[in-house]
Amino acid sequence: MSDNRQLIRDLLAEYWGYDSFRPMQEEIILSVLDGNDTLGILPTGGGKSVTFQIPALVMPDLTVVVTPLISLMKDQVDNLRAIGIKATYIHSGLTRSEHRLAFDRCRLGKVKLLYVSPEKLQSKAFVDEMKLFKVSLIVVDEAHCISQWGYDFRPSYLRLRDLRGVFKSAPVLALTASATPEVADDIMAQLAFRGRQMFTRSFARDNISYLARYGDDKFNTLLKILNNTSGTAIVYVRSRRRTREIADFLVKSGISADYYHAGLAIEDKNEKQDRWKSGECRVIVATNAFGMGIDKPDVRVVVHFDLPASLEEYYQEAGRAGRDGLPSYAVILASQYDKARLSRHITESFPDKEYIRKVYDLACTFLDVIEGEGYGKVYEFNFNLFCERFELRPVAARSALELLTRAGAFEFTEEIQTQARLMVLAKKQDLYDLRINEDADRVLQLVLRTYTGLFADYVYINEVLISSRLQMSSQRVYESLLLLSKMHIIHYVPRKSTPYVYFNVSRMAPKHVMIPREIYEVQRERLERRVEAMKRFAFADDRCRVRIMLEYFGEKAAADCGSCDYCRAEKKRKSPAVTDDSLLRQSILYMLRQPRTLDYLVTTSGERRERIIEIVRQLLDENLIKSLSPSEFVKA
């Protein structure tokens, strides 16, 4: 055991350059290396990846990581490759030859980690093929997806048991950022855990103040909040259209802002993300598509313009504030309208069963799949066109498709959004005397100069970059790549962002589509309970917000947080208007006639740091002072 302790510390330093583990990382890793089935519950940003990447290095054979976040697989694999760890991934968006290449690498033991999307496990043939692998460890990322009691159940996760059956001796490491006690139990049961090794960190985040502001004029409240704080911010909204509207409003009001949602092209997304990460853009207004896998430590404010449908989602999103441990805010803007919207969310998430069956039938017709056919096939599914053609309301149609997925009728996925990629098929020496047109030649030369590894594997390319470097329209770049591909000089896979449907059973008559109670009635009731908890948290006026949240996650708070708006109001109520604070307040206000740092205030006043922070917070809330940076303030 102690040998492992030293070994894993060395690996952390050698590959990642970190000198110590974050809370619970070491415990999880040691448990896995001891061969235990292990459940790790770490908050977003808590460093889950290292807890399986280090065991993957230590253990002799392959580590299989099941993760639904297809769009993050590539990033993870790229990051690993960059630090010298061999990894690859397989999901349904790959071409046949990409798939084969990745598969062979795993079979031949050429990689340490394989990321695989859960829907691949639906195919028995694939799982059977995997028997050719030697597997040391199975990792289940976003493990709450296996539980029907959680907020994001995915039926394909149930197939993980099959994987366990194939690799009997390999331990399982299940990871998630949020799980209520009942979901944690369910994860261990569903994955047939041997023993109950569970490691969890407190859900409390002491440096975040949770606040709520009520009222209908959310635009101006938001503006006020952003004007009174400094530093990077995220504003979460539920609708794509609104992201842009709010960002425009902020820009007009003099705040640097941009918008982000899942419907944007990959290049746009990357650019917006980068500008926000580098601090060039201060506020990003986004749907919940923003944030996964993004690691920015100094987010000062997370505002929820709309309420999410569960505390799990809220906790993850709000938790993107203050990862650096400095004071930060998570603010909910709530109005009575939100309550109504959340209730509507419940009915929209569960349209009636007849409607669901109708959507099934229409979808099959749309894809030209006739009854008794389709088994094992993947079809691109143009969701917008589908809704248009059959005049369906997108929200309800999407819910129906998701329920059909849960019921196992087929699998509908919107997540796949692949970037263009290519691999060179011709031999290096043959590239010199090719007879191709000038456009194609220029594109090829640029690609060869810009990217490495093209002869061994598919490499992601950025067509926007190519077209701007060559001053060539993107249509001409695209056509040139297609031409090169037709000539078998390269294999080019154009960018795609179409959702797809995978048939795990052949098309059936609508009346045979079973929508079991566990998927419908029971789930609906759970959603109702989750929504209730979210409302309780957002509209709480009689209890500490953090206490409500911790209890929801099965933790008992030792004391009230002291920094949420309820606690602040409570303090004010309890302490009479004139206290020692009033003197200290006056003197801080006096000092802040010019910008001062927190350290300056502490040193000059000779007071305890916590007390100064508390008063600074009060003054910020009352708009008497404003912050210039997380630790510098001035009179407003």
How far apart (Å, rounded) are the C-alpha atoms in residues 402 and 384?
Answer: 15
How far apart (Å, rounded) are the C-alpha atoms in residues 85 and 96?
Answer: 24
Phi, psi at 210, each rounded to 5°: -95, 125
**Residue from 36, 44, 178, 419 that binds ligand ADP (CB under 6 A)?**
44
Q: Please name the amino acid found at residue 114.
A: L
Give me 230's structure tokens.
């400094």
User: Which segment (43-51, 213-221, 308-316, 407-415) binds ligand ADP by CB under 6 A?
Assistant: 43-51
User: Which segment (14-22, 99-107, 166-174, 250-258) binds ligand ADP by CB under 6 A?
Assistant: 14-22
Q: Which of 300, 183, 316 is nearest to 230 (CA)?
A: 300
Say which residue the tokens 């090719």 belong to: 434
Question: Is residue 178 within the footprint of ligand ADP (CB under 6 A)?
Answer: no
Q: How far is the CB of 6 from ligand ADP (least distance, A)?
A: 16
- Range 191-230, binding ligand ADP (CB under 6 A): none
Question: Is residue 49 within the footprint of ligand ADP (CB under 6 A)?
Answer: yes
591 secondary structure, DSSP code? H
Question: Is residue 510 within the footprint of ligand ADP (CB under 6 A)?
Answer: no
User: Which segment (3-11, 19-27, 184-192, 422-430) binds ligand ADP by CB under 6 A?
Assistant: 19-27
Q: Please provide the DSSP assignment of 211-258 as one string.
A: EEEESS-HHHHHHHHHHT--SEEEEE-S-HHHHHHHHHHHHHTT--EE
Q: How far is the CB of 19 from ligand ADP (least distance, A)?
A: 8
Q: Please provide the DSSP assignment of 454-476 as one string.
A: TTTS-EE--HHHHHHHHT--HHH
Q: How far is the CB of 257 from ligand ADP (least distance, A)?
A: 25
Q: Helix, strand, or coil here: 596?
A: strand
Q: Which of 578, 571, 636 is nearest to 610 (CA)?
A: 571
Decide whether 40 or 150 has the Cβ nearer to ligand ADP: 40
**Residue from 29, 42, 332, 601 that binds ligand ADP (CB under 6 A)?**
42
Q: How far is the CB of 12 from ligand ADP (least distance, A)?
A: 6
Antiparallel, parallel or unpaired: β 490-493 and 459-460: unpaired
User: Which segment (37-45, 270-278, 305-313, 558-566) binds ligand ADP by CB under 6 A?
Assistant: 37-45
Q: How far is the CB of 144 from ligand ADP (least distance, A)?
A: 13
How far apart (Å, rounded) are the C-alpha atoms in residues 413 and 406?
Answer: 11
- Range 523-542, binding ligand ADP (CB under 6 A): none
Question: Is residue 50 within the footprint of ligand ADP (CB under 6 A)?
Answer: yes
Contact yes or no for 113/141 (Cβ under 8 A): no
Q: How far is the CB of 302 from ligand ADP (least distance, A)?
A: 15
- Range 280-299, binding ligand ADP (CB under 6 A): 295
How far apart (Å, rounded) are the C-alpha atoms in residues 8 and 52?
Answer: 11
Q: Please name the amino acid found at residue 596.
A: R
Question: Is residue 14 within the footprint of ligand ADP (CB under 6 A)?
Answer: no
Q: How far is the CB of 191 from ligand ADP (least distance, A)?
A: 19
Q: How far is the CB of 46 from ligand ADP (least distance, A)?
A: 4
Size of the site for ligand ADP (CB under 6 A): 13
Q: Helix, strand, or coil here: 4?
A: helix
Question: Is residue 48 within the footprint of ligand ADP (CB under 6 A)?
Answer: yes
- Range 74-133, binding ligand ADP (CB under 6 A): none
Give me 188's structure tokens.
């261990």
How far apart (Å, rounded) are the C-alpha atoms in residues 83 and 100?
Answer: 25
Question: Is residue 504 within the footprint of ligand ADP (CB under 6 A)?
Answer: no
- Range 292-351, binding ligand ADP (CB under 6 A): 295
Half-sphere exposure of 225 toward its Cβ, with a 13 Å CA cutoff? 27
Q: What CA–CA distances, in Å, run from 484 to 118, 429, 445, 451? A: 34, 16, 12, 16
User: Which segment (16-24, 28-36, 361-369, 548-556) binds ligand ADP by CB under 6 A?
Assistant: 16-24
Decide whether 47 or 554 has the Cβ nearer to ligand ADP: 47
Q: Which residues have CB under 8 Å from 449's CB, separation 6+?
A: none
Q: How far is the CB of 208 from ligand ADP (least distance, A)?
A: 16
Q: Helix, strand, or coil here: 45?
A: coil
Decide whether 112 or 596 has the Cβ nearer to ligand ADP: 112
Q: Which of 354, 316, 320, 342 is nearest to 150 (CA)?
A: 316
Q: Helix, strand, or coil here: 624?
A: coil
Cα torsion angle, 489, 490, 491, 495, sign: negative
How far apart (Å, rounded) are the C-alpha atoms in residues 30 and 171?
Answer: 12
Q: How far is the CB of 561 from ligand ADP (least distance, A)?
A: 23
Question: Is residue 238 within the footprint of ligand ADP (CB under 6 A)?
Answer: no
Q: How far is the CB of 421 from ligand ADP (least distance, A)?
A: 24
Decide whether 98 or 141 has the Cβ nearer to ligand ADP: 141
The size of the chain, in residues, is 636
Contact yes or no for 599/633 (Cβ under 8 A): no
Quick note: the x/- pattern for ligand ADP over 606-635, rule CB under 6 A, is: ------------------------------
Q: How far is the CB of 175 from ligand ADP (least distance, A)?
A: 8
How far apart (Å, rounded) are the C-alpha atoms in residues 107 and 99?
Answer: 12
Question: Is residue 21 within the footprint of ligand ADP (CB under 6 A)?
Answer: yes
Decide whether 293 or 595 has the Cβ nearer to ligand ADP: 293
Decide whether 177 or 420 has the Cβ nearer to ligand ADP: 177
Decide whether 48 or 205 has the Cβ nearer to ligand ADP: 48
Question: Is residue 46 within the footprint of ligand ADP (CB under 6 A)?
Answer: yes
Decide whether 22 or 213 has the Cβ nearer to ligand ADP: 22
**Residue from 18, 165, 325, 394 that binds ligand ADP (CB under 6 A)?**
18
Give me 131's structure tokens.
């028997």
Question: Is residue 40 within the footprint of ligand ADP (CB under 6 A)?
Answer: no
- Range 548-577, binding ligand ADP (CB under 6 A): none
Decide whether 49 or 221 has the Cβ nearer to ligand ADP: 49
Interacting residues toward ligand ADP by CB under 6 A: 18, 21-22, 25, 42, 44-50, 295
